[in-house]
Amino acid sequence: MEIQKGFLQDAAMTKPVATKFFFILLFMSGLLATDPVSAGGGLVLEDDVCILTIDFYSAHFTAYQPESRGDTQYCKEFPDTGLTIIVLDYLHQSLKLVPVELRIIRDVTGLGRFAKLEHVQAISDLSAHTVFYQPPIVRANASLTIEHSFQDEGNYIGIITAAHPTLDTYSTAIFPFEVGASQFDSTWWMLVFAVAASLVFWLRRSRGTKE
């Protein structure tokens, strides 16, 4: 009986800890699931459609890896290195009238998908970290397509700049993405949640049956 009583006391003490642990995991998952977008724009997944915003401009963003993944579409995580085709279909009609510049750099900020425009602007020499550069170009057909073969896995940042249709100003946005992205991240988090939830349920049930 003393052993059983001690166990119940331990369980009662452990329950609040386990509950707190579960809600901490839930909070962390919310942070990870959030898609931070800088004031200047970025990539946002809306209703399974990947939208790139550049200030008041917008474009449908689609990425393909035809050599390894066929016609599967990607948004922020590209599973493989190698040939990647990025297509921007302009949703804002003014975009087809102005030059658009696109640069891809290695992410040297160390912030991954949490990188913002100000972090990129703080990089002293973008050219030293550039892996792809598309000079300003006007696409009257409202579609910009680029091809690049990524040699290394890791985090990258796309930087897109578009001129204003009437003023002598420019709008810039960034879109962090990952090449060689793990396909098991979401599964791992689901497993963690399941274990945490099971622990809380087991402690509550054990306390209820022993009292």
pLDDT band at 189 (very low <50, low <70, confident <90, very high): very low
* Closest listed residue to residue 154, CA positions, set 81, 72, 69: 81
d(CA 185, CA 187): 5
45-54, 61-70, 168-177, 185-194, range with the lowest pLDDT: 185-194
Pairing mode, strands 100-106 and 130-137: antiparallel
Quick one: what percent of the chain has pLDDT higher than 90?
60
Tell me what pLDDT residue 197 has: 72
CATH for the stretch 32-186? 2.60.40
pLDDT band at 45 (very low <50, low <70, confident <90, very high): confident
Q: Contact 147/84 with Cβ under 8 angstroms?
A: yes
The larger pLDDT score, comparing residue 31 to residue 135, is at 135
CA 97 from centroid of its chain's CA atoms = 29
Instruction: Phi first, then psi: give them for residue 73, nearest 5 degrees.
Output: -95, 145
The larger pLDDT score, comparing residue 2 to residue 75, is at 75
Q: Is the pLDDT of residue 210 over 80?
A: no
pLDDT band at 184 (very low <50, low <70, confident <90, very high): very low
Provide mean pLDDT across the span 22-38. Answer: 45
Q: Where are the domains of the chain?
A: 32-186
Provide mean pLDDT across the span 96-115. Answer: 95
Instruction: Tell me the pLDDT tens digit for each residue of 117-168.
Output: 999 999 999 999 999 999 999 999 999 999 999 999 999 999 999 999 999 9
Quick one: what percent of the chain has pLDDT higher than 70?
68
Tell me what pLDDT residue 194 has: 67
Specify which residues 90 forms β-bridges with: 59
pLDDT band at 4 (very low <50, low <70, confident <90, very high): very low
d(CA 82, CA 150): 5
The larger pLDDT score, comparing residue 10 to residue 54, is at 54
Task: State in Å, rounded, how far the first CA of the chain is from the last one.
Answer: 12
